[in-house]
A and B are shown apart, each in its own frame.
Chain A
Amino acid sequence: MTLMIFFGVIIIAVILALIRAVKGPTAPDRVVGVDIMVTITVALMVLLGIFFKRRIYLDVSLIYAVLSFVGVIAVARYLDKGL
């Protein structure tokens, strides 16, 4: 039950971030929105692991954290014309 509330809150948070990602107005704004979404998702996955009682979600979450970090850095470097 507690977890369900958490999920509800997280989903609202994701939606807020998503709105920012969609609205912009500048490219970095969108990326910030996505970045926040990603961080929230990493946490969400761990919570899902608790929910389903499956440890494998931790691995997923870890992989996701690594890949999204690199992804955000890549976009950032693209934006500052470092690529």
Chain B
Amino acid sequence: MNQIIGYIVMGVGVAFLFLGALGVFRFPDVYNRLQAGTKCTTLGAFLSIIGAGIVEPTWFLKCLIIAVFILFTNPISAHALARASYKSGVKLWDKSVVDKCKDFEECAKAQEDDK
């Protein structure tokens, strides 16, 4: 029983992994790619690892740790990459509608007095 559930969960995860990769492949600029990459691959990895934990119940706890680790770290790295892209001057897609960060030029300066 748990085998079937496990493989289903795993399958959903793999599908999301694939979608994430596809998004990274298709989307027009780095920020949009990150959007796709972060969300889909995080969930995808999470689900497939949990799925594996369900398939092999004795592994579950360890799988959980890996999955949670990914869940916690992936947004951080996505954020760091987005910020780095922005700071290193990667332009938004030219069809982007708004860039508050541009108005928010104190981004950098404000950081100084930020604790």
Contact = CB atoms under 8 A, between A and B. Distances in A.
Interface of A: 2, 6, 9-10, 12-14, 16-17, 19-20, 26-29, 31-33, 35-36, 39-40, 42-43, 46-47, 49-50, 55, 58, 61-62, 65-66, 69, 72-73, 75-81
Interface of B: 7, 10-11, 13-15, 17-18, 20-22, 24-25, 30, 33-34, 37, 41-42, 44-45, 48-49, 52, 55-56, 58-59, 62-63, 65-66, 69-70, 73-74, 76-78, 80-81, 83-85, 87-88, 90
B8 to A, nearest CB: 10
A43 B33 contact: no
A80 B89 CA distance: 9
A16 B2 CA distance: 32
A83 B17 CA distance: 31
B25 A62 contact: no
Contact of A50 (B41, B56, B85, B90): B56
Contact of A73 (B11, B52, B65, B77): B77
Given A17-B25, A20-B33, 18 more contacts: A6-B10, A9-B14, A9-B15, A13-B18, A13-B21, A32-B24, A35-B77, A36-B41, A39-B17, A39-B74, A43-B45, A43-B48, A46-B63, A50-B55, A58-B59, A62-B65, A65-B73, A79-B81
Nearest to A19: B25
B74 A81 contact: no
A80 B84 contact: yes
Nearest to A55: B59
B87 to A, nearest CB: 4
